[in-house]
Structure 1
Amino acid sequence: MFDVAEDRKKMEAVIERFKGEMKKVRTGRAHPDMLSGVKVEVYGQFMPLNQVANITAADATLLVITPFDPTNIQAIAAAIRTDQSLGLNPADDGRIIRVPIPALTEERRKEIVKNVSAKVEEAKVALRNVREDARKAVKIATEMGEDVKKRAEKEIDDLTKEFNDKVEAEFKGKSEEIMKL
């Protein structure tokens, strides 16, 4: 009998990676994960922002960044300003950095949903790749009979559909969150 447990684990990893990407998407409310993709040049190398500073959401429209080393304030502010996909303009007072989160326009919301749909497609492609690898493993398995191979392929297809539905549900929820005023 063919076991799809390993393929399920791979597909769950795709879903987890997709959910992580969805957390980074700006929805109009301040969330520390919005800055998780920002890399800051400190001490001669690029480091993720969360490794050089503490990021908190003071309220729904403001992120507060407290650097572990105050000498890195300018580099952190510059890194946030440089990331054009965020569209944020940080302000520092020498100790902390305040990042106001501007309200999203309707046009910007639609653009964000479009970017999210590209991430949905990436996740679906990754799921299809797992499915194809599993199908190849079934095809080259010589100890299985034809009827067992057909059953295994159906099981793989059902698993792929299940995970595609999870991606679609996550996308639908995120799209509604983004478009909500």
Structure 2
Amino acid sequence: MQTLLKEGKKRMEGALSSLEKDFSKLRTGRASTALVDSIEVLYYGTPTPLSQIASVSVPDSRTITIQPWDKGAFSDVDKAIQKSDLGLTPINDGKLIRISLPPLTEERRKELVKVAKKYTEDSKIAIRNVRRDLNESVKKMLKDKTATEDEAHKTQDEIQKITDDFVAKADDAFTAKEKEILEI
């Protein structure tokens, strides 16, 4: 039963870390290297993560700079950023690629909050799916007579407590992200 609980916690933590990763891709008013982490550049015909062919830095709160190590990769990086769904316009001066982040409009902020809410809901669904799997395992153990009724009830109560904790953590993460997005 304890192994079952440990496995469940690990899977629920995975759902939360996935939520954090999704949140890092959301563009708030602040520049972050995480914004361009998901961009893949067609480098010599091979899709390559941007971070593997260039150094990415944030000189100030509204600018991201990208410096490809290979001079021939500038146009490829430029194209990849323009094709990405981030809506960013790179400025390429031949030595450095700069991305200026415009301030977000009120409407765009509300859209981002909706997207963050959807990510949170997806995460909560994943957490509840883990709960369902764990409860099914407990019922199977009960059916196979490898656990007593008391153990099964105690474990199911523990599973519910863990689920409630992780759902609360997802809600807290959403609240913090919402505050960050709406902050002007």
Distance 1:155 1:47 in 2: 44
Query: Could you tell me which residue of structure 1 aligns to residue 125 of structure 2?
Result: 125
Query: Could you tell me which residue of structure 2 aligns to residue 41 of structure 1?
Result: 42
Percent identity, please.
36
CA displacement at 1:83 relative to structure 2: 1.5
Query: Could you tell me which residue of structure 2 aligns to residue 106 of structure 1?
Result: 106
CA displacement at 1:147 relative to structure 2: 2.0
1:159 to 153, 162, 180: 162
Residue-by-residue CA offset, 1:132-181 (whole Å, 9 max, x unaligned): 11111101002111121111111111101100000000000000000011
Q: Which runs of 5+ in 1 are unaligned?
A: none
CA displacement at 1:2 relative to structure 2: 4.4
Distance 1:122 1:69 in 2: 39
Distance 1:20 1:166 in 2: 15
| 3-state SS of 2:55 partner | strand
Distance 2:34 2:89 in 1: 17
> Which amino acid is 1:137 matched to?
S
Query: Could you tell me which residue of structure 1 aligns to residue 91 of structure 2?
Result: 91
Residue-by-residue CA offset, 1:33-69 (whole Å, 9 max, x unaligned): 1111111111111111111111100101111000011
Query: Could you tell me which residue of structure 2 aligns to residue 60 of structure 1?
Result: 61
CA displacement at 1:25 relative to structure 2: 1.4
Q: Which runs of 5+ in 2 are unaligned?
A: none
> Which amino acid is 1:30 matched to?
A
| 3-state SS of 2:9 partner | helix
Residue-by-residue CA offset, 1:95-146 (whole Å, 9 max, x unaligned): 2100001100000001111111111111111111111111111010021111
Q: In the superposition, relative to structure 1, how do residues 136 and 79 fare at CA in structure 2: closer, same or farther (>3 Å)?
A: same
Distance 1:130 1:179 in 2: 32
> Which amino acid is 1:65 matched to?
I
> Which amino acid is 1:143 matched to?
T
State the 4+ residue runs in structure 1 displaced beyond 4 angstroms.
none
Is 1:50 the equivalent of 2:65?
no
Taking the TM superposition and a 5 Å limit, the aligned residue runs for 1:11-50 are: 11-50=12-51
Distance 1:81 1:5 in 2: 44
Equivalent pairs, count? 180
Query: Could you tell me which residue of structure 1 aligns to residue 73 of structure 2?
Result: 72
| 3-state SS of 1:143 partner | coil
Q: TM-score, normalised by structure 1?
A: 0.95
Distance 2:2 2:76 in 1: 53
Query: Could you tell me which residue of structure 2 aligns to residue 144 of structure 1?
Result: 147
Distance 1:66 1:53 in 2: 5
| 3-state SS of 1:112 partner | helix
Q: What is the root-mean-square deviation of aligned Cα atoms in Å?
A: 1.1
> Which amino acid is 1:129 matched to?
N
